[in-house]
Amino acid sequence: MAFQTQIREALSDLEAAGLLRSPVRISGPQGPEVEIDGRRVLCFCSNNYLGLANHPALVAATEAGLHREGVGAASSRLITGTMDAHREAEVAYANFVRAPAAALFSSGYAANVGTVQALAGSGDVIFSDALNHASLIDGCRLSRAQVHVYSHRDVDHLESLLREHRPRSRRALIITDSLFSMDGVTAPLRGVAALAQSFDAGLMVDEAHALGVFGPDGRGLCAAQGVEPDVVVGTLGKSFGVAGAFTAASEEIVSLIRNRARSFVYSTAPPPLVARAAITALHLVREAGDARKTLLANAHKLRSELRMLGFEVPDGESQILPVLIGDNDRTMRLSAKLLARGVFVQGIRPPTVAEGTARLRLTPMATHRPEHIERAIDAFASIVRDQ
C-alpha cells in the first residue's frame, strides 16, 4: 500500500473513533476573549491564567529585548554560548523557587524530557504517578531507566513499589506533577517527599500549572506545602504568559542537565527576547496576589454553578475544572454548542485522558470579569435546557 494511503487510513481511523483534532484559528492576541472566525468569544480553555500573555509590560520587555539582542540565539548554548538574557532569567527563576541554579529550555515539554533523561539512565529506577504529564512519560522512555508507575496520588502504592524495587537499583527518582493538568487535583507532596527521603530517592516535581497560582508570591505548591524537592520544573508558557521553561535544582544537578539533557544540548537556545519577557513576567507574577484571588474565586463560582446545573465536576480547589462527559463525540458536540453560544471550552479526549473519561476542561482566567463568568454559566444552562 502506498505510504500516503496508509497515512490517510490512520487519519480516518482517528476520525471514526471521534479522535481527529483540528485546532480552531484565533485572530489577534490571547485574552479573556478571543476572536474565532471573526467572532469575539469568551475563552475558557487557556493556561494564560493571570492574563499576562498580552500584557503591555511583557510586550514592552519583548520589544526592548528585540532591540538589545536581536531575534535568534544562533545555536545551542553549548556551541554559541549563554547570552546575558538566558543567564539573568535562570538566576531570577532559580531565586523565585529558592533553588541554587536553573537551566532554561524552549518549552516545558523539552525541559521534562531532557531533565528526566539526564538524571536517570540504564540501571536506575523511576517512580512516576499514573497521571503525570506526557512530557514526563516521554522523558522516562528516553531515559532507559526502569519505570514503575504508581497509582494516581497513591502514597501507599508508591511505598510498596519503592520497597520492592529501590534496593536493586543505582539511582532512584520519584516524579510527580504538583497540580495535575487534566483533573485539577494536587499531588500528596508531603507524603511523596517523606518517601523520597527515607528511600534515598531524588524527587522531581513538575509545577507547570501551580506556579503563579499557588503558594506565597505564586511560588507553587511545593512552597505552599513546605516541600523542598531536588528538582522543580516550571513552564513559562502558562501563568507567566510567555514561552519556555526552566528546571531548578542544585548547581550539580543543573550542571549535569547542561551536559546531558539532549533537548538542551541539541537544540537552539530560546530567543533572548523570550528570556527578557520571562524576567518581566516574574515581576508581574510576584505582584499578582489580587489576580490569584480573582482567578480562584472565578473557578469556585464556576464549579458550584455548573454542579447546580447537574454537570459532573469533581471536588477541587484549583483553577482547572474538568467537566466529565465520558463519550468522545458527545464531549466534542458540547464543546461546539458552547462555541456557538460564544464560549470557547475545549473538549479533551484520549489519549490525553483515559478512555471513557472525555471531558470539557474549563479554565477561567484572573481577567474574566463577573459578567464573563455569568455568560459562561448561561451558556451551560442553555445547553441543559435544550437537551
Ligand X SMILES: *Cc1c(COP(=O)(O)O)cnc(C)c1O
The answer to whether residues 241 and 52 touch, using CB atoms and an 8 Å cutoff, is yes
Give the nearer residue to ligand X in terms of CB position, either 169 or 318: 318
Assess contact for 47 and 373: CB atoms under 8 A: no
Place of cell 499578582: 288
133 binds ligand X (CB under 6 A): yes
Q: Which of 115, 128, 169, 235: binder of ligand X (CB under 6 A)?
A: 235
- Catalytic residue of the set 46, 106, 107, 181: 181
Asked if 292 is part of the footprint of ligand X (rule: CB under 6 A), the reply reads: no
The dihedral sign for the CA sequence 362, 368, 374, 379: negative
When asked if residue 208 is in the footprint of ligand X (CB under 6 A), the reply is: yes
Q: Are 116 and 142 in contact (CB under 8 A)?
A: yes
In the three-class reduction of DSSP (H, G, I as helix; E, B as strand; rest coil), residue 251 is classed as helix
CA distances from 93 to 133, 204, 330, 381 (A): 22, 16, 42, 42
Q: Is the Cβ of residue 196 or residue 208 nearer to ligand X in the bound state?
A: 208
Of how many residues is the chain composed? 387
Task: Give the CA distances from residue 341 to residues 197, 320, 336, 381, 383, in Å, rounded to whole numbers and listed in that order.
Answer: 51, 21, 9, 11, 9
Check if 238 is active-site.
yes
Stretch that binds ligand X, among 54-62, 108-116, 118-126, 263-271 (CB under 6 A): 108-116
Q: Does 108 bind ligand X (CB under 6 A)?
A: yes
Under the binding rule (CB under 6 A), the answer on residue 135 touching ligand X is yes
Annotated active-site residue 181? The verdict is yes
Written as nine digits, the cell of 53 is: 500573555
The residue number with the shortest CB distance to ligand X is 108
Q: State yes or no: residue 280 binds ligand X (CB under 6 A).
A: no
Q: Which of 46, 117, 169, 181 contacts ligand X by CB under 6 A?
A: 181
- Asked if residue 109 binds ligand X (CB under 6 A), the reply is yes
Residue of 77, 86, 148, 209 interacting with ligand X (CB under 6 A): 209
How many residues of this chain bind ligand X (CB under 6 A)?
14
CB 187 within 8 A of CB 180: yes
- Which residue of 46, 48, 107, 328 would you call a contact of ligand X, by CB under 6 A? 107
Nearest-approach distance from CB 278 to ligand X, in angstroms: 11
- The closest alpha carbon to 132, from 169, 185, 79, belongs to 185
Name the active-site residue from 55, 86, 148, 238. Answer: 238
Question: By CB under 6 A, which span of 55-63, 104-112, 262-270, 272-280 interacts with ligand X?
Answer: 104-112
349 vs 372, which CB is nearer to ligand X?
349
Q: Distance (Å, rounded) from C-alpha 25 to C-alpha 194?
A: 46
Candidates 33-41, 63-71, 102-110, 299-307: pick the segment binding ligand X (CB under 6 A).
Answer: 102-110
Contact 344, 311 (CB under 8 A): no
Check if the beta carbon of residue 264 is closer than 8 Å to that of residue 105: yes
**Taking the CB of residue 294, how many other CB atoms lie within 10 A of it?**
20
Helix, strand, coil percentages, rounded to 5, for the chain = 45, 20, 35
Residue from the set 103, 187, 195, 245 that interacts with ligand X by CB under 6 A: 245
By CB under 6 A, name the one of 46, 112, 169, 239 that touches ligand X: 112
Shortest Å, Cβ 148 to ligand X: 20
Residues 364, 44: contact at Cβ < 8 Å? yes
By beta-carbon proximity to ligand X, the closer residue of 124 and 207 is 207
Residues in touch with ligand X (CB under 6 A):
107-109, 112, 133, 135, 177, 181, 206, 208-209, 235, 237, 245
Catalytic residues: 181, 209, 238
